[in-house]
Structure 1
Amino acid sequence: MDIPQAGTSWVDAFRRRHGRAPRVLHIGNIANNAYKIAKALNLGGLDCDVICHSYYHIMACPEWEEADGDFRFRDQFHPDWHEARLGDYERPRWFVQGELETCIAYLLARRRRDTALGEKLWKVLQHENRTRRFGPGGLLALLPQVLAPRTVRLRRRVKALFHDRKAAQRAARRIEAAIGTETRLRRALARLAAGVAAAAITAFQALLPFRAARAAYDAADSELQDQKARWARRFQESFPLRRDQLGEDEVTDFLRTSKLWAGLLQEYDIVQAYATDPIIPMLNGSHPYVAFEHGTLRVFSLEDNTTSRLTALAYNRADHVFITNGDCRDYAERIGVTRYSGIPHPVETPQALGVRGDPGSLRRRYGVSSLFLCPLRHDWAIKGTDRYIRALPLIKARLGPDFKLLATNWGADLASSRSLAEELGVMDRIDWIDPLPRHALLRMVGSVDIVFDQIALPVFGATAPEAIGAGTPVIMSYDSALTEWFIPEPAPILCAWTPDEIAAQVAVALDGSWRKEYEARARLWFERWHSIQAVAAEHLKVYSRLCPAG
């Protein structure tokens, strides 16, 4: 990836001074933003790790971005990736997803070059994030008849495998005894059981220091009380006019957890935390740290709850804040953030990923002349998904029935959306599809005539730029004035707020002469303002200021 000269100059100077690349830890990975940014920065010469702890949603997994396949999971919040056809794709070792203590232990082993321990902990992480089928759950799934009546009782014990050394040893012995060694299969399973137990014991031993740290912190009650009082006082000093002051006891659980991070954060030159996770480096006194908001401050800055109070303080005290949603600058300034810059969401075009759309094939598949894609989750209040359904009778009046809307099976208001479509008599104009991983989504974006994006908020996220980069028209609610402070050229978006306006803009987007002019303008805008290179360049600009090479 091409990085501007200023960025590479800083990286080169840092290497000469320190004998290594700058190290950056990214904490949190909602919507894969941390993964995409770290990947780009690593390609640019940095040494970045991502820690995505205790969060397994499909859209926070690198497979969703990188692997090309049709993934269907029973549980989108903790998918079984070992059941998916991923080809030869394997997660990079710098992306760590699992339970908190395992993630920290693995990254410490990685940073301290303890390869043997790192390999064992990586296997534990694979069990936790379900990228590899082995361990207690996978083993028991293979042995429903062999273990017979003892399965339920044994399952309870095996669930403790990664948390209790003695339980791991007992479980291994019971499994080996139940299997026996009479056949090749049984011998193999016995070895697997023993290996799983060994990995569990290793993990248990590696995680002991973290449990000890938590217990020691609880025992040192005076230190805990001092910390609680200190952070309550800092909040009052930062926000003297807020009625919802931070109570000392509110910080207790956050402080206990933050102690687990202390050793790991010291291994990095910069920490970049996403959404509400800037609380972690703040409580640890880790500097410099960067806070990355992607709509976070709309909800977690001014509300009367503990997370909002601590998030507001963490952003207020950050060495720098990246703001991806133009309207969130107002929230940032209201909580006293002065060191910030705007940055687009990290996205790549289908062309950059080698993905091509096939409009003709998709039209033949659905038997219509026009196809519209609405990848939004069904959340009427935040995304306005219902307005697109309400627009369908109006579109049908203009175009006739020769079109289809592809809508996702996703969101809290999905049942309401289906009921609305039935009520309006347009259910036959909608095809309901599962959420699409990145390659499949970009292929679809490049094959449809129009993308319907959010129509409640006046700013765009990642979907609109992806469509614009592919040359596909986008209809959404949009106010360019909110982003002109960091994207001075308005995005080529067809703005609509109501069902009537949606129908009118559909007619515009389907005009052949307009579409031809739009495609050239759209790709030029994307390259100028929204490329992943622009995102990386802004990061390096900020990093070079926070962590000078000398």
Structure 2
Amino acid sequence: MRIVRLANFVTPVSGGLRTALDELGAGYLAAGHEPVLIVPGPAARDEQTRAGRRITIPGPVVPGMGGYRVIAGRRRVRRLLDDLGPDRLEVSDRTTLRWTGSWARAAGIRSAMVSHESLAGLLRLYRLPSRHLGDRLNRASAEAFDTVICTTDWAAAEFRRLGVPNLLRVPLGVDLTTFTPSRYDARLRAGLARPGEHLLVHCGRMSPEKRPDRSIRALAELRRRGVPAVLVVAGDGPLLGSLRERAAGLPVRFLGHLADREALAGLLATADVALAPGPVETFGLAALEALASGTPVVVSSDSALPEVVGPAGAAAEDDPAAYADAVMALLDPRFGAAARDQAERYTWPAAVQGFLRAHALIDMSVRPR
């Protein structure tokens, strides 16, 4: 079966969404299906990847989003969809791509919308009227697609409250081979922290919805208490400059985006505690990669991450003292083993099976046409 997938906000330095699209595509391909991914970019491109065919459509940059682009121009997309003739449609966006659900229904094609973010949470973050507008947009999304896929109960809550009948929860997975405690690197640690110092790490995009400033504020509070902690920040984005200014005088090292997955895995395995303070995270692959590396995670109590990290992490309110308390609690060595155990509950093969079930393709492995 040809599974055509559309997604916005995907760049070479984006993290969780790009990883999920790649892993799911590779899984579809391994199951005998033909995945085709359509994303926006600076120029047109058509290529074969480990996750199947990838078609890039020139799309405009969203102002203030640090380089994120969106697919615009319905006529071009409609022609492309008509030419591809998908058997299934999977859409990872609720903004410029919602109309494709109606296109699929008119064409007699089964469709699914994947909710990678909390719309109500994003609207609150940007101080927009969240309840009424979010409900209206979520109801429109649910009506446009045959299935709405949410990765956590937290993400599904805004749809359940509306009584949406076509809702399916499918957790994502984590690469348990690349991200493992065995990647601990004593030499790397010596270069990042002095003996006796606690090494904290923040991995993620430097953008408002990720709230990376909370990690720096937590470090400042720990240092105020006399706790010998240092922070390493891995990631790039529009807030990087202001974060450097905020971190002045603190032991913070900014590494930028780590394209090398093994280098990232080594950093996560070497840290004592990871911080994932984004309040609107609906799954949090970066946090799960830290857990797989044997590193416990402090997460925002407002997000879906308390559900994901379980007993291998600690949830904190938006307060530097609360984050500092959570870090101190997770320095207990017993959380390392709990972290890996928790991560092993989430595998990509299980996620792929869940998504294929959502597409009604669970027992339909076929040769790509």
Q: Which residue of 2 aligns with 1:541?
A: 357
Distance 1:508 1:482 in 2: 17
Could you say if the C-alpha distance between residues 462 and 480 of structure 1 is closer, same or farther in structure 2, counting changes exceeding 3 Å?
Answer: same
2:337, 2:207 → 1: CA distance? 33
Shift of 1:260: 0.8
| Corresponding residue number in structure 1 for 2:27 | 40
For 1:288-307, what aligned pairs fall within 5 Å after superposition?
Answer: 288-295=110-117, 297-298=119-120, 299=122
Q: Quick one: distance in 1 between partners of 2:281 and 2:93? A: 20
Corresponding position of 2:54:
96
2:211 corresponds to which of 375, 380, 384: 384
* Residues 25-57 of structure 1 deviation map (CA, whole Å, 9 limit, x = unaligned): 2222632122211112222x231323233236x
Read off the aligned partner of 2:348 and give its amino acid letter: I
The structure 2 residue matched to 1:503, chosen from 296, 305, 324, is 324
Q: For 1:213-224, what aligned pairs fall within 5 Å after superposition? A: none
More helix by share: 1
User: Relative to structure 1, is the Cα distance of residues 333 and 27 closer, same or farther in structure 2, using a 3 angstrom cutoff?
Assistant: same
Residue 493 of structure 1, CA deviation: 1.5
CA distance in 1, matches of 2:135, 2:74: 16
Task: Give the Cα–Cα distance (whole angstroms) in 2 for the partners of residues 303 and 478 of structure 1.
Answer: 19
Whether the 8 Å CA contact 1:258–1:283 is kept in 2: the answer is no
SS at 1:405's partner residue? strand
Pair 1:472–1:24, CA change in 2 (3 A) = same
Contact 1:295 1:328 in 2 (8 A): yes
Cα distance in structure 2, aligned partners of 1:264 and 1:307 = 33
Distance 1:327 1:536 in 2: 20
Report the CA distance shift for 1:355/1:91 in structure 2 as closer, same or farther (over 3 A): farther
* Residue 444 (str. 1) matches residue 267 (str. 2): yes
Match of 2:299 in 1: 476
Matched, 1:532 2:352: no
Separation (CA, whole Å) in 2 of partners of 1:455 and 1:93: 28
Distance 1:499 1:372 in 2: 15
In the alignment, is the contact (CA less than 8 A) between 2:118 and 2:280 conserved in 1?
no
8 Å Cα contact 1:449-1:510 kept in structure 2: yes
Whether the 8 Å contact between 1:275 and 1:293 is mirrored in structure 2 is yes
The one-letter amino acid of 2:199's match is L
Which residue of 2 is the match for residue 232 of structure 1?
Answer: none
Give the length in aligned residue pairs.
328
Aligned with residue 493 of structure 1, among 308, 313, 318: 313
- Check whether the contact 1:445–1:472 (CA below 8 A) recurs between aligned residues: yes
Q: Report deviation, 1:100.
A: 6.3
SS at match of 2:204: coil
SS of the equivalent of 1:490 reads helix
Deviation (angstroms), 1:492 = 2.3
1:322 to partner: Cα distance = 0.7
Counterparts of 2:269 and 2:200, CA distance in 1:
11
- Percent identical: 21
Q: Distance in 1 between matches of 2:204 and 2:179?
A: 22
Distance 1:465 1:362 in 2: 21
**Residue 500 of structure 1 aligns to a residue in which SS?**
helix
User: Match for 1:496: what amino acid?
Assistant: A
SS at match of 2:75: helix
- The answer as to whether partners of 1:293 and 1:323 remain within 8 angstroms in 2 is yes
Q: Secondary structure at the match of 1:410?
A: coil
Secondary structure of 2:327's match? helix
Unaligned runs of 5+ in 1: 1-21, 57-77, 79-89, 102-252
Q: Is it true that 1:271 corresponds to 2:257 in the alignment?
A: no
Q: Which amino acid aligns with 2:3?
A: V
Instruction: Give the SS at the match of 1:471.
Output: coil
User: Does residue 286 of structure 2 align to residue 463 of structure 1?
Assistant: yes
Structure with bigger RCO (C-alpha 8 Å, 6+ apart): 2
Q: Residue deviations 1:329-388, cap 9 Å, x none?
A: 233346663211122234212x357895233111211242421111133334x2232222
1:404-455 CA-to-partner distances (Å, cap 9, x unmatched) read 2112462333333222223xx32xx011111112332222111111111124
1: CA distance, partners of 2:149 / 2:183: 33
Shift of the 53–363 alpha-carbon distance from structure 1 to 2, 3 Å rule, reads: closer
Report the structure, 1 or 2, having the larger strand content: 2
2:232 to 383, 402, 406: 406
**Secondary structure of 1:389's match?**
helix
Higher CA-based Rg = 1
Closer, same or farther: CA 255–388 of 1 in aligned 2, 3 Å: closer
Q: Give the secondary structure class of the aligned counterpart of 1:282.
A: helix
For normalisation by structure 2, the TM-score amounts to: 0.74
Letter aligned with residue 92 of structure 2: Y
The 1:510–1:521 alpha-carbon spacing in structure 2 relative to 1, beyond 3 Å, is closer
User: 1:255, CA displacement in angstroms?
Assistant: 4.9
- Deviation string 1:452-492 (CA, Å, 9 cap, x unpaired) is 112434754111111112211101113698986xx7x9352
1:454 to 269, 277, 283: 277
Are 1:321 and 2:125 an aligned pair? Answer: no
2: CA distance, partners of 1:46 / 1:354: 29
In the alignment, which residue of structure 1 is the partner of 2:4?
Answer: 25
Scaled by the length of structure 1, the TM-score of the pair is 0.52
Secondary structure of the 2:336 match is: helix
